[in-house]
Amino acid sequence: MNHNLTYLHPYPFAKMATLLADSSPALHYSEIKLGIGEPKHAPPAFVLDVLRENLDTISRYPTTNGLFELRQTIAHWLEKRFFLTHVDPNKQVLPVMGTREAIFSLVQAVVDHKPIDKESRSLPASHQPSPVSATVVPISALSPIAFSPIIVMPNPFYQIYEGAAILAQAEPYFVPCSLDNDFKGNYRSVPKDVWARTQLLFVCNPNNPTGSVMTMDDWEYLIRLSDQYGFIIASDECYSELYFDTAPIGLLQACATLGRHDFKNCIVFHSLSKRSNLPGLRSGFVAGDANILQSYLQYRTYQGCAMPIPHQLASIAAWQDEKHVAHNRALYQEKFALWMSELGHLLELRMPEAGFYFWVKVPEQFNGDDEVFVKALYEQANIHALAGRYLSREVNGNNPGQGYVRIALVASVEESREAIERIRQLLAA
């Protein structure tokens, strides 16, 4: 077996199962699941109709790069949504079977273990660590075989980022997302020697779990860093359509604003799971730098990943329609407004800029302990939430998720009202 598997952390929900193994839910209440970010709104009926009407195409092998009609539809959607002048459907778009798998496989495809010259014990000049940092590992201390690449990611984070890095034999570098940096991560704090070893930077925009979004200034800073150090920026934008007032600026939009229409070293991930309430369709896409996608397509061809044709045809219908997306947003807006008005004075609720999560600071009566709070929610209110520490890693003695709980507003409005009442009673008790 791959020995790197032993370095993987249990998934957050596995940790929650362990935490609650000896607990019993409040059975006098019906179960309300607010822990997993699985959409519960009804999927658009017309998309399901297209899926049913084309089941006969399941007898055909799909190609890895998908139907041209799907790639063209995605390209047009990107142009309209992010104000892009032209997206090449043949070179800058690649349909994938959900972004989770694509995020993982992209890491495996792009991480490059550059060899070290055994005679000089040094790296090629373009890959030398910055000499100005006091934390640079001396070249003499490095393995003669490889110079460990770094993948920078937010903390808390989507666990696939870390797992993909570990299995690609890269080193995760965590940028804390905390109150003092608006829960976006202070990338200006990353040392130069870390950027010099970085091959890939993950950004989650809007952020899961904090709901923060990147500004144009944020994007420009990272793009300039990418130019300086040559790393790839991978933006996970799966929550981009669940906003309240202003649509978040995407990475490709930032590139176009800067006149970078080739999207050099920039890749985005999008999905129908949250946008269209179709998590089981396993439909998403990767778009951006044509040079990266060309190699990534070859990798995926060998990997054998191709979206079934009925799913592709249903996806075309979904990407072409915005009415159901607006309706979806309105439902989330209603629930967020309800929670803020009914619980905002009892819980430290921070209204996110986008997404469907509350990143809740644990109330004082639970001593700021996220594990204690989620256990109480389960045992006394039969509500599932997720302990924040399970979504992040401790770095230098600090875990930025500790003391927070992620609550996913995926349940119905009626269930939300019930959950609010139970939490009120729990806090009063």
The answer on pLDDT for 392 being more than 60 is yes
Q: Label residues 351-386 b or e (16+ Cβ within 10 Å = b).
A: ebbbbbbbbbbbbeebeeebbebbbbbbebbbbbbb
**∠ Cα 218 208 108 (to 5°):** 85
Averaged over 273-281, what is the pLDDT? 97
To which residue do tokens 């690449």 refer? 149
Residue with the two structure tokens 């899961």: 208
Q: Which residues pair with 282 in a beta bridge?
A: none
- pLDDT tens string 106-130: 999 999 987 644 333 333 333 333 3
- Of the pLDDT bands very low, low, confident and very high (cuts 50, 70, 90), residue 136 is very low
CA distance 165 to 108: 8
CB 37 within 8 A of CB 358: no
Tens digit of pLDDT for each residue in 44-97? 999 999 999 999 999 999 999 999 999 999 999 999 999 999 999 999 999 999
Share of the chain above pLDDT 70, in %: 92
The secondary structure of residue 291, as a DSSP letter, is: H
Question: What is the residue-averaged pLDDT of the chain?
Answer: 91
Q: What is the pLDDT of residue 114?
A: 75
- Helix, strand, coil % (nearest 5) of the chain? 45, 15, 40
The answer, yes or no, to whether residue 368 has pLDDT greater than 90, is yes
What is d(CA 178, CA 154) in angstroms, rounded to the nearest whole number? Answer: 10
For position 144, what pLDDT does the model report? 35
**Sign (positive or negative) of CA dihedral 97, 103, 106, 108:** negative
Domains plus CATH for the chain?
A: 3-42+323-428 (3.90.1150.10), 47-319 (3.40.640.10)
Rounded Cα distance between 391 and 405, Å, is 10
pLDDT for 217-266, tens place per residue? 999 999 999 999 999 999 999 999 999 989 999 999 999 999 999 999 99
Round to whole Å and give the CA distance between 315 and 306. 14
Residue 358: what pLDDT?
97
266-271 and 284-288 beta bridge pairing: antiparallel
pLDDT of 139 strictly over 70: no
Confidence of residue 131 (pLDDT cuts 50, 70, 90): very low
